[in-house]
Amino acid sequence: MARMHARRKGKSGSTHPMRKKHPEWSALNPREIESRALEIAKNGKSTSEIGFVLRDQYAVPDIKIATGKKMSTILESNNIKTEIPEDIRNLIRTALQLKKHLDIHKKDLKNKRNLHLTESKIRRLTKYYHSKGRLPEDWRYSPEKAKLMFE
């Protein structure tokens, strides 16, 4: 499939290895994995950071294969839920960094375009999460609100 904002084709992202079951060399069983994930989440880590910690420190290659649930499902079932999904949060942080850069370098047209593309991604994801019920219907992205949210 072609890229959205470029005239080239390409594969998006990486592919996981074809693994059907949790490997024997992994030391933790599914309940232990869930409890460790909840401990890490209570320390304020995001879902991707939890996955990195479980992979690097506890030798859990894939949480979904090990437990049968996604990390976000595990956190939601234990009432640990973020108000804004992680992907929108990361895009908002990127947009704020680009805006800060553009305040200093006003003629940087490449980064101005990158800011427009990033804000466009945020709006598309907002529409998606409104339809899925993950974001409240009255939530809208604005750079001013985003600046207050991350300071």
Task: Give the model's pLDDT for residue 106.
Answer: 96
Residue 20: pLDDT band with limits 50, 70, 90 = confident
Considering only residues 72 and 4, tell me which one the structure prediction assigns the higher pLDDT.
Answer: 72
Task: Give the model's pLDDT for residue 1.
Answer: 45
Please state the pTM of the whole predicted model: 0.81
Centre a 10 Å sphere on the Cβ of residue 74 and count the other Cβ atoms it contains. Answer: 22
Task: Give the model's pLDDT for residue 39.
Answer: 95
Tell me the CATH architecture of domain 86-150: Orthogonal Bundle (1.10)
What 136-144 contacts at long range (C-beta under 8 Å, 24+ apart), as own/partner pairs, is 139/84, 141/88, 141/92, 143/95, 143/96, 143/99
What does the alpha-carbon distance between residue 49 and residue 52 come to, in Å, rounded to a whole number? 5
Structure tokens at 91: 């895009």
Residue 122: pLDDT band with limits 50, 70, 90 = very high
| CA distances, 64 to each of 13, 41, 45, 129 (Å) | 18, 16, 18, 22
Q: Mean pLDDT across the stretch 76-82?
A: 88
Lowest mean pLDDT among 18-22, 66-70, 131-135: 18-22
